[in-house]
Amino acid sequence: MAKEKEKITTKIWYEEPEADNPFAAKVSYCSGYDVYGELLGKISWPEYIYLLFKLEKPQAWQAELIEAVAVAIANPGPRDLSVRAAMNGGVGGSTAASCLMAALAPGAGKNGGAREVYQVMRLWQQCQFDLQLWQQNLSDYKDELAVEVWPASEHPPGFDPYGASCATPVLQTLKHLTTIYSDGALAYLSSKREQLERSANCPLGMTGVIAAAFTDLELSDEQAEMLFLLLRLPGAAVHALEQKKLGWRKYPFFGDGLTLTNDPGPVQPVQEAL
């Protein structure tokens, strides 16, 4: 008897093949819905994102919240660490994918990146709506794992370590998202923000707002980390393309910005080999 071929097990996707080619899908179903026969032209991108992650049709507020989050974080601007990494690709004429891969690396981090969103998601799971627990965790934040490939946290996740006060776009985003869903983590964060900031000794950051929105959407910590990475790529893409056109001469090199503290100085000029 022929050995059964190995398969990819998935709850997300099912395909029926074309009659003349088993490698070409005639119909593709996402969680039971015909993607090209029914969903295309009928549902919005945020609705489809929700369906992909949650395998169910969203309620109106859920799609609206994803759309608002997507706009809020699509472009953190060219000073952002992940966008800067992408621009370094663009300015040197690197491949498009490498620019986005470059953006993903710093954009994954614990300082304003997706790992920080993951950490805040974990805090929501642990603290929920218990203010005292939040305050304890924020005033003395400890990484959950002693050994991990991520560097040790240097600030309470969800808060801006270098903020003087809560930045206006963060407040605007929190306010807007809370109008979309006012009965959960976002609303709690809005009402307790100042108390939490005092415990963290830092103002609320964008990662804190987005993690609250993802908590209201009942995403898992890993789903939130992934979606945050994904939704921040548009800005990285366009800024990389812009710098590619402008070229390296118009892009900072920090020529006088580096001080080598142990420079041995000129040693001996290398002699030409005879």
Partner 1 sequence: MRGPDALKKAEDNWHTDMGAWFSDGRTVLRGKDLFNELDDLSWFKYHMFGITGKMFSDSQINLIEKIWTLTVSYPDPRLWNNRVAALSATAGSTGILGSSAAIGVSEAKTYGNQVSKSAIHFIKNAIEVDSEDKNLSNFLKSELRENRVIPGYGRPIIATDERIQPLLNEAKKYALDKGPHVKLAFKIEKLLITLGYRLRMNAAGLIVALMADLGFSENEFYYYSILAFSSGIIPCHIDAANQKEGTFFPLNCGRLNYTGVEKRHW
Residues that bind partner 1 (CB under 8 A): 5-17, 22-25, 29, 31-34, 38-39, 42-43, 55, 57, 95, 97-98, 101, 146-149, 161-165, 197, 201-203, 254, 256-264, 266-268, 270
Q: Are the beta carbons of 222 and 118 closer than 8 angstroms?
A: yes
Q: Which is nearer to partner 1, 23 or 245 (CB)?
A: 23
Shortest distance, position 256 Cβ to partner 1, whole Å: 7
Burial class (CB in 10 A: 0-12, 13-18, 19+), 233: buried
The helix (run of H) or strand (run of E) holding residue 21 is strand 21-30
Contacts of residue 15, Cβ cutoff 8 Å, sequence gap at least 6: 25, 26, 27, 28, 29
Q: Which is nearer to partner 1, 55 or 130 (CB)?
A: 55
Shortest distance, position 84 Cβ to partner 1, whole Å: 14
Q: What are phi and psi of 17, to 5 degrees?
A: -80, 160
Residue with tokens 């026969």: 37
Shortest distance, position 187 Cβ to partner 1, whole Å: 24
Shortest distance, position 186 Cβ to partner 1, whole Å: 23
Nearest to 47 by CA among 70, 32, 64, 68: 64
Q: Which is nearer to partner 1, 61 or 176 (CB)?
A: 61
Shortest distance, position 182 Cβ to partner 1, whole Å: 27
Shortest distance, position 51 Cβ to partner 1, whole Å: 9
Q: Which is nearer to partner 1, 187 or 232 (CB)?
A: 232
Q: Which is nearer to partner 1, 102 or 231 (CB)?
A: 102
Q: Are the beta carbons of 80 and 112 closer than 8 angstroms?
A: yes
What b/e string do you get for 160-181 counting C-beta neighbours within 10 Å, with b at 16 or more? beebeebeeebbebbebbbebb
Q: Which is nearer to partner 1, 43 or 71 (CB)?
A: 43
